[in-house]
Structure 1
Amino acid sequence: MRDSLSITDVRPWGSAPVDLVIENGTVAAVSAAAGSPVPAGEHVDGAGRLILPALSDVHLHLDSSRLGLPFRAQTGLPGRWGRIMNDRQNWRSAERSVAERASFTLAVAVANGATRIRSHAQVDADTGLTKLEGELAARERYADVCDVEIVAFPQVGILLEPGVIDLMDAALSAGADLVGGMDPCELDRDPVRHLDAVFGLAEKHQVGVDIHLHEAGELGLFTLSLILDRVRALGMTGLATISHARCLASGLPGVPAMIEELAEFDVALTHAAGAQGWALPLLDLAAAGVRVGVGMDGQRDYWSPYGNGDMLDRAWQLAFVNGYGSDQQVEHALGVATWGGASVIDRSLRPLDGTDPHPGFAVGDPAEFFLVDAVSPTSAVMDRPAERTVIHRGRLISVDTAIEGFEIPGRWGREGT
């Protein structure tokens, strides 16, 4: 028996109203809205609302999130190391456990329309596998409403403390999906040994890599070239992601050639809608066919006061920091936050390359959608209406965000809670 869902009178990317037929989690048919009798089976009446590909948060730290807890003043020293140590000094005193905090953050993300998540779980000599275990518990709790990938993430480096490589190995055996890395030159000061460890674990466990690369300018381009050398040598086309890739925001002469190489080896990029000095050349990346997604990163944690669990809000931030004003540009930012991120996680999906500015509604596409009452994609990004209808794997889903000890922040929590 086929699982089926009909979605009637919806406007994909603001186009003319259509009816959708979903079977076994994929789009089976798209036709002009007919106003005919509703077919048998589960049905969603779109009532003329906008329908978009589901949001994708592909750079998240569920284990460090304090979303929904009392707002905390920033106490970390300036710089990356100061924030790393601030997290280490304070995470155990959080009002709720890692599993509880990760679960609430995940629930809010899904309720807002994100059905694909990639989260980094910190693994180091201080935390051991505790944070990974918390994220695994949250993933299991919400397995029916979203797909979550977890990266074993060495936030304090791989070489600075003893036993980290073994812990990373154990994390991958325990359920992490990818192996991470962190600034091989600036942090560990030994990019060869760092990357040998990362790619050695990837080869051993037959998994992909997702490496944090905050390193700027020529140093970052150098490190990126070392990563690409290993992707090429190990035949890992389509299995690597670079998080942040700040060096590509430098405007240096070597950036265009690096973008072409990223496209050649299908190396994806994820980032957090960074401002000056961090804003990626999104349109150039799309023109080259590089997969790009965006995420919330840390949320109200020991690194940053930003984040609210709504990836539509992050799409607004992405458009804003890039100076986007036209509908086409804003829709591209929204595309990065939806289909772009989906294509980072699922490499069978075509990248957001500009040839199809409104993806997600062809026959055979995955039925991952959200509906919102907005005139157009641009108005949806500007207004971010709170009410969303979410479709995951071809099924209408709902998530209860009423978790004891947590409160949805700001205007998102004032209705229906």
Structure 2
Amino acid sequence: MTSTAAPTAPSAPPPAALMIANVRLADGQRVDVSIADGRIAAIGADLPREPGMSIEDGADALLLPGFVEGHTHLDKTHWGLRWYRNEVGPKLTDRIDNERRWRAHSGHDAGAQSLALARAFLQMGTTRLRTHVDIDTDAGLRHLDGVLATRDALRDVLDLQIVAFPQSGLLGRTGTADLLEHALAAGADVLGALDPALIDGDPVKSLDLTFAIAQRHQKPIDIHLHEPGEIGAFTLGLLLDRVAALGMQGQVVVSHAFCLGALPERERDALLARLAQLRVALLTTAPPSVPVPPLVACREHGVVLFGGNDGIRDTWTPYGSPDMLERAMLIAMRYGLRRDDDLALAFDCVSGTAANACGFEAYGLHVGARADLVLVDADTLAQAIVARPVRKLVMSHGRIVARDGALVGAWIDAGAAPGSTSAGASFGHAADTR
């Protein structure tokens, strides 16, 4: 497959033995972290220093696991480009049509742009990421090609899951289903879908075809469900019927699920019970202006609810940031979380719960977990979420990739095309200069 993205960064093994000394866990415990072959080998107070071990002094910083972005659109972003003037109409179809026209006429480069934003995520502490990529009958697999190249360029330090996403729906444009099959065969990890009733107009046919494609390729599903109220509940019920009938428990994510925030409690709770039974997870971006799945009720019913940004600086929205501490703060604000222990629930939406929901393995701060670590100057986790301090250190796969808010070493220019300006040279100022 051809690509506009860059040659890959040099692949090198992580340091054989490294210790992050003098750091604090979220519970206040002071510990050292011993790392070997990219994994946490030991974590505890006053660990022994082995001969030849490199020591990194954490200087009493707060230790966090690498962050997880559960839902974004790397291929769409304008990150680092000139400001896009948004004059699009109010309907979902207005945004879809406007974006297709703009991308076709502007020559938007999904490879270069996804690489710029992925590196910004890495710099700010995200080491695992799920991105939806448009599979379009006009562009074919061009956007996918670019994001596949970004995944390859950052393969040593960023786990990047790709969702093959039919942004215009599955049924409305002839050839979309075939393109989705080609995308899954080419390397996409997950099958996407969009509003089977309001976009496709035939939720039974749309869902039947979606599940058939997923089963042929043995891939999980992540569906955008913006449909409100009773319409969304009807579609969600149809989806859950298929999960049960086809044995796809634990293999489906419903993104947005606005309907669950607007239903009467009895009807909502019946759906939550089915979601929990079938292990169907929910993704929220915690938008301020539409209903959202209820966090407390989801947890009470055993439904997994995790978080993500959605689009960042694209034709759909001027908002968004590759800082998952900011997203945790926005989740906390949307759900009225103020106590320190409640803020920890918001962080879980962009860390452990998100990793589990997306199927990212060996995650966390425990022996055997992959050494994906973030150090920040904060007294507590709640302060880190609210103040969002500069990342003192970011480690991925046992490699130090960023220090004091900037990428370091081989990752300064990882994936940058020969002769081009580094996509990461001004990450710290990108939001202020566009």
- TM norm structure 2: 0.87
Q: CA separation in 2, counterparts of 1:281 and 1:382?
A: 22
**Aligned equivalent of 1:352:** none
Tell me, yes or no, if the aligned pair for 1:56 and 1:342 is still in contact at 8 Å: yes
Indicate whether 1:21 and 2:34 are aligned.
yes
Shift in alpha-carbon separation, 1:40–1:409, aligned structure 2, 3 A: closer
Q: CA separation in 2, counterparts of 1:33 and 1:391?
A: 21
Indicate whether 1:120 and 2:120 are aligned.
no
Post-superposition offset of 1:170: 0.7
Post-superposition offset of 1:242: 0.8
Q: CA separation in 1, counterparts of 2:325 and 2:135?
A: 30
**Aligned equivalent of 2:248:** 236
Q: CA separation in 2, counterparts of 1:198 and 1:171?
A: 14
**Aligned equivalent of 1:355:** none
- How do 1:296-311 residues align onto structure 2 when only pairs under 5 Å count? 296-311=309-324
Indicate whether 1:339 and 2:343 are aligned.
no
Q: CA separation in 1, counterparts of 2:163 and 2:327?
A: 21
Post-superposition offset of 1:251: 4.3
Post-superposition offset of 1:43: 3.4
For residues 223-276 of structure 1, give each alpha carbon's deviation from its aligned partner in whole angstroms, at most 9, with x where no partner exists: 111111111111111111111111121142211122222122221222212114
Q: Say which SS state the counterpart of residue 74 (structure 2) adopts.
A: coil
- Letter aligned with residue 75 of structure 2: D
- Letter aligned with residue 304 of structure 2: R
Shift in alpha-carbon separation, 1:88–1:389, aligned structure 2, 3 A: same
Q: CA separation in 1, counterparts of 2:430 and 2:179?
A: 38
**Aligned equivalent of 1:354:** none
Post-superposition offset of 1:11: 1.1
Equivalent in 271, 281, 284 of residue 258 of structure 1: 271
For residues 361-416 of structure 1, give each alpha carbon's deviation from its aligned partner in whole angstroms, at most 9, with x where no partner exists: 333334322111111111111111123412222332244467628575776778xx
**Aligned equivalent of 2:179:** 167
- Letter aligned with residue 158 of structure 2: C
**Aligned equivalent of 1:44:** 56
- CA RMSD in angstroms, aligned pairs only: 2.4
Tell me, yes or no, if the aligned pair for 1:111 and 1:388 is still in contact at 8 Å: no
Post-superposition offset of 1:299: 1.0
- How do 1:247-286 residues align onto structure 2 when only pairs under 5 Å count? 247-252=259-264, 253-286=266-299
Using the aligned pairs only, state the percent identity. Answer: 37
Which blocks of at least 5 consecutive residues in structure 2 are unaligned? Answer: 1-12
Indicate whether 1:184 and 2:196 are aligned.
yes
Tell me, yes or no, if the aligned pair for 1:11 and 1:17 is still in contact at 8 Å: yes
- TM norm structure 1: 0.90
Q: CA separation in 2, counterparts of 1:348 and 1:263?
A: 21
Post-superposition offset of 1:319: 1.1
**Aligned equivalent of 2:334:** 321
Tell me, yes or no, if the aligned pair for 1:12 and 1:361 is still in contact at 8 Å: no
Post-superposition offset of 1:158: 0.7
- Letter aligned with residue 326 of structure 1: R
Q: Say which SS state the counterpart of residue 391 (structure 2) adopts.
A: coil
**Aligned equivalent of 2:257:** 245
Tell me, yes or no, if the aligned pair for 2:283 and 2:306 is still in contact at 8 Å: yes
